[in-house]
Chain A
Amino acid sequence: GNLSIILNYFFAGEIFELKAELNSDKKEKKKEAVKKVIASMTVGKDVSALFPDVVNCMQTDNLELKKLVYLYLMNYAKSQPDMAIMAVNTFVKDCEDPNPLIRALAVRTMGCIRVDKITEYLCEPLRKCLKDEDPYVRKTAAVCVAKLHDINAQLVEDQGFLDTLKDLISDSNPMVVANAVAALSEIAESHPNSNLLDLNPQTINKLLTALNECTEWGQIFILDCLANYTPRDDRESQSICERVTPRLSHANSAVVLSAVKVLMKFMEMLPKDLDYYGTLLKKLAPPLVTLLSAEPELQYVALRNINLIVQKRPEILKHEMKVFFVKYNDPIYVKLEKLDIMIRLASQANIAQVLAELKEYATEVDVDFVRKAVRAIGRCAIKVEQSAERCVSTLLDLIQTKVNYVVQEAIVVIKDIFRKYPNKYESVIATLCENLDSLDEPEARAAMIWIVGEYAERIDNADELLESFLEGFHDESTQVQLQLLTAIVKLFLKKPTETQELVQQVLSLATQDSDNPDLRDRGYIYWRLLSTDPVAAKEVVLAEKPLISEETDLIEPTLLDELICHIGSLASVYHKPPSAFVEGSRGVQHKRLPPRSGSPEGAHSGGAAIPEAVPAVIPSQGDLLGDLLNLDLGPPTTGVAPAPTSAMQMGAMDLLGGGLDSLVGGAALNCNCQTLGWYFLPHLQVWLLAMKAKGLEIAGTFSRRGGVIHMELSLTNKAMSVMTDFAIQFNRNSFGLAPAGPLQVLTPLSPNQTTEVSLPLSTVGPVMKMEPLNNLQVAVKNNIDVFYFSCLYPISILFVEDGKMERQVFLATWKDIPNENEAQFHIKDCHLNSDAASSKLQSSNIFTIAKRTVDNQDMLYQSIKLTNGIWVLAELRLQAGNSNYTVSGVLERERYRF
């Protein structure tokens, strides 16, 4: 209170004094006064009251005084717009000054005065300055266009400044070119589709020439701009690369990284057998290594980018492992990044060194780093099989240190090693059990419980161990509770006699005393399983688990390709596409790597960009069965492969119900279709109407040829301009259908042209039950937009070639399948005898296992196997001389668990 009043009082006195000095007749006194004003301003004091007095000092031929006044103006014009108008005349006059320095200064300062009224007066001087004879003025004016655009975009467009700016790209002075590029790039960010930077071979050549002669900052702008260009062919690509490589030796690391971006992108187009391709790969390593000897902040950004580069082209840095070794006084953010890259580069050749380092790190001070180092040892074991044993023994050594968080981290990773190499390292369980009491983190407790449950048969006192956890059941985290529930059920299934009481206890804790719905549901499911069918329970709970994958935390390939195009940017630091986070960049276009000329592999990465439907890196493990198989241990530090059949099993009942008629009846015997051919091919259907897809019409159907499912597409361009850059992606679907390769369309697709494409499909994609079951949602992308449609595929394309069941098995299976799994229906007007029907069905992979004739009735017994391993058995009855068939289909039940 009091103090601030006193301070204000003194400050008021100061203002008064300054006012007097500003109005002094003596030039020097004036200048010193302005300096004092600026000094007060910079420390945050409000000296805006002096506005008219300071502006009065503006008309001077003393450059320093002028500059100081300009500094002041820029700061306060916004809060005193009416006063700022007073300065306009001086600005306009200064823009005509014979001294280019003053002209430039005036136009530069005017652009910084963010007052609408002033911008109107700015246009004429700016137009003159953009065409000034002096390049220093032109380059300053170029930036001024960007400033003005930020304040009033419409004005800039109306006045034609954008075109003038585009012309400056061809300016004779490299600094002017660089500034024009910088200004256009900034403006383009708010106008993603404006084609402001329309790059063609001529402008590229201009830019490459300016690149050699402009300042380091200008080089960054130009390189970033070049990176947006897509060369016409591999020769152009190579020639640009050749002219960009000298930038790798620049002292400014931002120049180096921008050059790396251009090279990484353009080398995508070079044939891999080209000598130059190898040369370029070799040239990329040294500058990247050099970035790591710079200041830590630079190192951090470099490391985040190297992380991407190592994933895209591991060969570049595979021999440079040692530069990523951690120094004890590296900042923690550098240490963690280095560690990550070490794991990515780990291979059989260098694993010994890596392990020795990791062991060293595990004794460092910083807890986060130590934890990550221990985790890294586990990742090595999973990645390099030959090293697994050494990793396990290193982890055991670490457990012996008894350092609490090290022990816990080690146990979490050992669990993953068990998953990867079952029945190999179980001898260490005893050591692990010794540390049971010291575990206080949920993840470590859950891991330990999983281990005890999984190997219950080898741990004599497994029941005691698990029982000890049970005492504090309600205080445990959900993760631990779920794990404990499953582990005790496993134990019960393995040693039912001694553990009945324990399992009852845990089931009642989970179902009756818990408020957690997940826990309760799981408890009930186990309970019912155990009480109705212990054998089924065993199959569910003790089922074989899918293997965990080697590489973890890999960036999904389409995203990786996009990020490679954004090397050096914020996106590359955050490993997220730019659209995901930067507020200022409205509607960023997704960048893609150019396709490699002539090679399908290149086309793959080229076509791989439907960002809207980016599949998750690690499939979600939401389905119930996955849970029951214990795939939910903690966060996905180790990517768990999806259980491809699990979701299907949920849909099995559905297959029996609504699905069966389409399955057997509709598909194969419907004579309206072209079954006479050697494979079953329904007519093309229009899936996507041109009017709904900006001129792109898609018709298609499905086929099965040579054991491979194909999507037969017919693409028609009904728009006025050519279409390029086609790509396709599927949503998750019931049978995991996914493109087995890229969509190879002969592009460009000219207006009114139609092209036929056959896209091979695989069935290993992510699975999700669809309604109806054979519904497929598709996204197709071209240079114009992304389009979505859905279509239905005939189930028959899923019938595999080895679907012929052995007679004995068929008989036994048929009997085993309960009646409620049976469906029956009739097909009318099918004029085929049984043999013809049989051979026709066989062409669709519906196999005749046996034929019987009873009472003039031919009975055909058929078997079908679906791509996901499900069997369908059918009986066809046909009365001689009658064109009606009766089909009884049964769905084999044995294979699924519900």
Chain B
Amino acid sequence: MIHSLFLVSTAGHIFLEKHWKSVISRSVCDYLFEAQGKASAPENVPPVIATPHHYLISVYRDRIFFVAVIQTEVPPLFVIEFLHRVAETFQDYFGECSEASIKDNVVIVYELLEEMLDNGFPLATEANILKEMIKPPTILRSVVNTITGGSSNVGGTLPTGQLSNIPWRRTGVKYTNNEAYFDVVEEIDAILDKSGTVVFAEIQGVIDACVKLSGMPDLTLSFVNPRLLDDVSFHPCVRFKRWEAERVLSFIPPDGNFRLMSYHVNAQNLVAIPVYVKQNVSFFETGSSGRLDITVGPKQTMGKTIEDVVITVHMPKVVLNANLTTNQGTSTYDPVTKVLVWDIGKLNQQKVPNLKGSLSLQSGAPRPDENPTLNIDLRIQQLAISGLKVNRLNMFGEKYKPFKGVKYVTKAGKFQVRT
């Protein structure tokens, strides 16, 4: 199982190590550094690295390498999933997952890691249960701690959820305001070619829930059009049999925030592309210059407004500067990172945003071989682009009447236009 964990900054500084079995020397990370030296960017460091006596399995998140060391045959996905869980737990506990926040809370980090893994076997990885055992640092608590001389941040009771058949929920939950909110969030992943034709498009959807309900509520969530969902992954709380038979989500929820389900729509006809993009990015054979002209407009929006539109272009290295004008939003070109960002904002029907102008290239350099790709960000409130709609939420098992709400939002995921 997982033998040791090292946290390494992009600069190559090992700032935390934890061993669940015998101690493994830090020098094992040299193999990671070697791989990092070969990779063009930290993102490109391969996640599985073989060394003479160990395997390093790593994930790169928030500018930190989470490096697990294993010595025997262990499923790599198991390790990777666990490492992501560690990162998420830090994020959840400290508000951000960074070298600074981890160093500031190093004792809690150690307590957490000790609780998450025993002898390399996962022990408690659900946020709910961890928080029952180790209280997150809060400003209020640290104030109280300093005034009163401090109370413990370790719970003294057995994490009840760990043993029941519903390990994700603790017992004895009580709220004065009982509420259940669901966010249907859809991201469009798409590749459009030069002419704007869709090469590939799919929707990654999730339903995130924030459920604060007393006692042991048993919820049923139904959809107007469940037939859209043929490729789904559920939180362990969802009863799979009922989904298969009736296409409803029946579950006893964890307490607080959790991801109820994620789904995947990749039938091409179901994926509407909300914007059109016309572009022309070209570099001239002579004169060390180029031209850029991009126009964006709304297409299939189901009557909603498209907001927060941002177009990002990673330019070839030889592009020194950009002299561009636009009729909407702002554009900036960073000559160091070679990234052009055009922040457009809202798209409206009357005015079609356009960005155009010239690009200046390093003189004497050959014309760049590669074509830059446009990356598009956008957001549409109150719309799930797949058309998914929640029908109703029923609660059984408890007597009170909860507040209920559903929100929809569509965003661009990996939305790319080739030039």
Chain A residues near B (Cβ < 8 Å): 28, 31-32, 35, 38-39, 42-44, 62-64, 67-68, 71, 75, 78, 99-101, 108, 111-112, 114, 134-136, 140, 143-144, 146-147, 150, 173-175, 179, 182-183, 186, 189, 213, 215-217, 220, 224, 246, 249-254, 256-258, 286-287, 289-290, 293, 295-298, 300-302, 322-323, 325, 327-329, 331-333, 356-357, 360, 363-366, 401, 403, 568-571, 573-574, 578, 581-585, 588
Contact = CB atoms under 8 A, between A and B. Distances in A.
A216 B82 CA distance: 11
A300 B234 contact: no
B375 A249 contact: no
Contacts, number: 238
Contacts of B118: 108, 140, 143
A251 B266 contact: no
Given A108-B118, A250-B236, A224 B106 contact: no
A570 B106 contact: no
A293 B21 contact: no
Interface stretch (B89-97, B225-233, B292-300, B324-332): B225-233
A143 B418 CA distance: 52
B189 interface: yes
B220 interface: no
B236 to A, nearest CB: 6
Contact of A257 (B19, B77, B165): B77
A331 B43 contact: yes
Nearest to B233: A251
B364 interface: no
Contacts of B48: 300-301, 570, 573
Given A28-B149, A35-B107, A100-B158, 20 more contacts: A38-B107, A38-B110, A39-B106, A63-B154, A143-B118, A182-B1, A216-B125, A217-B82, A246-B241, A251-B261, A287-B231, A293-B189, A298-B84, A300-B48, A328-B416, A356-B199, A568-B75, A570-B48, A570-B73, A573-B48
A290 B230 CA distance: 11
B418 to A, nearest CB: 6
Given A217-B78, A327-B416, A332 B40 contact: yes
A67 B154 contact: yes
Given A78-B23, A136-B163, A569 B46 contact: no
A403 B264 contact: no
Contact of A249 (B47, B125, B240): B240
Contacts of A569: 73-76
Nearest to B55: A570
A78, A101, A251, A333, most chain B CB atoms within 10 A? A251
B121 interface: yes
Contacts of B370: 363-365
Contact of B16 (A42, A108, A182, A331): A42
B44 A186 contact: no
B262 interface: yes
A327 B110 contact: no
Contacts of A257: 75, 77
A213 B418 contact: no
A486 B162 CA distance: 73
A216 B125 CA distance: 10
Contacts of B162: 136, 175
Contacts of A583: 53, 71
A90 B122 CA distance: 26
Could you tell me the dominant secondary structure of chain B's interface residues?
mixed
Contacts of B23: 78
A323 B266 contact: yes
Contacts of B80: 254, 295, 297-298, 301
B43 A568 contact: no
A68 B111 CA distance: 8
A702 to B, nearest CB: 42
A765 B21 CA distance: 49
B167 A215 contact: yes
B183 interface: no
Nearest to B201: A322
B142 interface: no
A64, A108, A300, most chain B CB atoms within 10 A? A64
A71 B15 CA distance: 18
Interface in B187-225: 189, 191, 193, 199-200, 202, 204
A175 B159 CA distance: 14
B40, B78, B103, most chain A CB atoms within 10 A? B78
B173 interface: no
B77 A253 contact: yes
A300 B40 contact: no
A146 B20 CA distance: 13
B43 A296 contact: yes
Contacts of A403: 369
Nearest to A328: B373
In the complex, the 10 A-B pairs of residues with the closest C-beta atoms, listed nearest first:
A584-B72, A64-B154, A286-B231, A297-B47, A254-B77, A217-B122, A254-B78, A246-B240, A64-B152, A328-B373
Given A39-B106, A78-B22, A300-B48, A329 B375 contact: yes
Interface string B126-153: 0000000000000000000000011011
B204 to A, nearest CB: 5
A286 B72 contact: no
Nearest to B105: A39
Given A215-B122, A301-B47, A250 B233 contact: yes
B356 interface: no
19 contacts: A38-B107, A64-B154, A68-B107, A143-B119, A224-B75, A249-B240, A251-B236, A253-B81, A289-B264, A290-B262, A293-B204, A300-B47, A300-B48, A325-B191, A327-B416, A356-B193, A364-B370, A568-B77, A569-B74
Contact of A71 (B82, B114, B121, B236): B114
A63 B200 CA distance: 55
A295 B59 contact: yes
Contacts of B189: 293, 327
A1 B23 CA distance: 28
Contacts of B416: 327-329
B269 interface: no
Contacts of B193: 356, 360
B307 interface: no
B352 interface: no
Contacts of A78: 22-23
A62 B76 contact: no
A870 to B, nearest CB: 48
B303 interface: no
Given A286-B231, A290-B233, A333-B46, A301 B71 contact: no
A251 B121 contact: no
B58 interface: yes
Contacts of B314: 328
B158 A101 contact: yes
A30 B261 CA distance: 46
B414 interface: yes
